[in-house]
A = this chain, B = another copy of it.
Amino acid sequence: MGKSQSCNYNKYVNIAWICIIVILGNVYELVVAADQHPELSWSKRAAIEAESVASKSCSGHGRAYLDGLIVDDSGAPVCECNPCYEGPDCSQFIPTCSADAGSGDPYFLEPFWMKKAESSAVLVSGWHRLGYTYSDGSYISKALENEIRQLHDFVGNAVTKGRYILYGAGSAQLLSAAVYALSPQNSSSPAKVVASSPYFGLYKTQTEFFQSRAFEFAGEASTWKNKTNSTTQFIEFVTSPNNPDGKLKNPVLQGPNAKAIFDRAYYWPHYMPISAPADDDIMLFSVSKLTGHAGTRFGWAVVKDEAVYERMVSYIQENTMGISRDAQLRAFQLIKAILQGKGNGKEIFDFAYKTMSKRWERLSKTLSATSLFSIEKLGAQYCNFFHKVRHPSPAYAWLKCEREEDKDCNAVLEAANITGRKGSAFGAQDRFARLSLIRSQDDFDLLIDRLNKLAYEESGTRFM
């Protein structure tokens, strides 16, 4: 046997053995992988489609959605750009565009959910919950109710033990459900619905729109102080923390004929130190200002009195036959993702508070450079959730225009190319205006830019 042949022989034996080991290794890996990641079948198309849409590059100034109206040549939805950005990949800034600080679209939480993509995604099968009711015959997902109670216990912002919980399409629908529930049935004297300004505009428009014989909007709560001993029922909307000014509020009217509906949409550590669990007769919450999902239209009411709860449930039944099971499933997955996140659920509150407090720092610095506007300072408080003394970081800035001639504060903003909301939309003077601080980072950055420019021009004028 020649040396070279013997050498080749050994070489081939070695190669053969290596090959066999590699193949066995592959087979083992495939078996393990199949066990860890079972092969997907019917769900794969939807998953691939969602990831494909999500991977669309929109330059950080927009995003594509599954149900986008405009699709590209391949049938895939195109980017929907943030205000002030355009182009196929949203990369082009529109310099003349107005800074949007108008509506309370809570896009500031979008980056959080993009980071939590895996835990927050939900795949809905075609046959998910076809029927009108859950298996207990109700319109209310009890699994979601359990999560809601768990979340309130964790945050410590509301007492839910021994309380009834029902759902509405956002807190909007629950507002009128509560008004109907508290109004007299078959009485010739309609209940008077009041609030103290500045207040959320929907309280007035909604109450007036329904033209009910059972209730009517009666304006400022303080007008009716010491007049509640009559047989007229008073229903007072109390938003605490308040939209638009961020203050904690109490009912103005007291007495046996005065009932309050507490809108607690903003009583989360994002916006306000949690000093104690709220324990009002009727409390309204919504995912909109908790998780940022305004579009899901999902809110809940925590109610003490059984009869009031039952009447609210009747309203929701007559109005919409309960709340979309898809909205309930989404809320279920989102709150589950929160509760199963780092720190047993603390992560979203850390993120939201950090974002909001940073925004307030920047806004305060900017506003300190101008004498055009003032904002009432809210005092720091001990937060039982964060175990720290913290300043409020409200969802909105409630500006007062300080110059005598600036009777229309929103017009001053408009002139500076900023979209706010005028004071009269909140039952207040137009010397006030609201700026929304919970929109996207793009919107907020542009708002600060525009305010800085205004401050700079004003200081120039002042010292001219």
Contacts and interface: CB of A to CB of B under 8 A. Distances in A.
Contacts of A126: 113-114, 116-117, 119-121, 333-334, 337
A369 interface: no
Interface string A1-27: 100010011001101100110110010
Sorting the interface of chain A by its residue count into under 10, 10 to 19, 20 to 34 or 35 or more gives 35 or more
A334 B66 CA distance: 13
A64 B268 CA distance: 34
A330 B130 CA distance: 12
A43 B121 contact: yes
Given A46-B47, A47-B43, A325-B297, A130 B106 contact: yes
A314 B142 CA distance: 32
B113 A127 contact: yes
Nearest to A121: B46
Interface string A28-53: 00000000011011111111111110
A70 to B, nearest CB: 9
B170 A123 contact: no
A210 B209 contact: no
A84 to B, nearest CB: 13
Nearest to A323: B297
Contacts of A81: 135
A114 B329 CA distance: 19
A445 interface: no
A1 to B, nearest CB: 4
A267 to B, nearest CB: 20
A349 to B, nearest CB: 16
Nearest to A83: B135
Given A68-B143, A126-B117, A321-B172, A51 B45 contact: no
Contacts of A37: 44, 48
Interface string A105-146: 111011001101111111111111111111110000111101
Contact of A41 (B51, B169, B205, B209): B51
A202 B67 CA distance: 32
Interface stretch (A275-283, A288-296, A356-364, A424-432): A288-296
15 contacts: A5-B9, A42-B51, A43-B48, A46-B118, A46-B122, A113-B130, A121-B125, A122-B124, A169-B320, A169-B323, A170-B320, A170-B321, A210-B210, A295-B325, A297-B321
Q: Which 8 A-B pairs give the minimum distances between C-beta atoms?
A: A120-B126, A19-B19, A113-B126, A42-B117, A295-B325, A169-B320, A50-B123, A105-B131
Interface of A: 1, 5, 8-9, 12-13, 15-16, 19-20, 22-23, 26, 37-38, 40-52, 54, 63, 65-69, 80-81, 103-107, 109-110, 113-114, 116-136, 141-144, 146, 168-170, 172-173, 176, 180, 202, 205-206, 209-214, 292-298, 314-315, 318-330, 332-334, 337
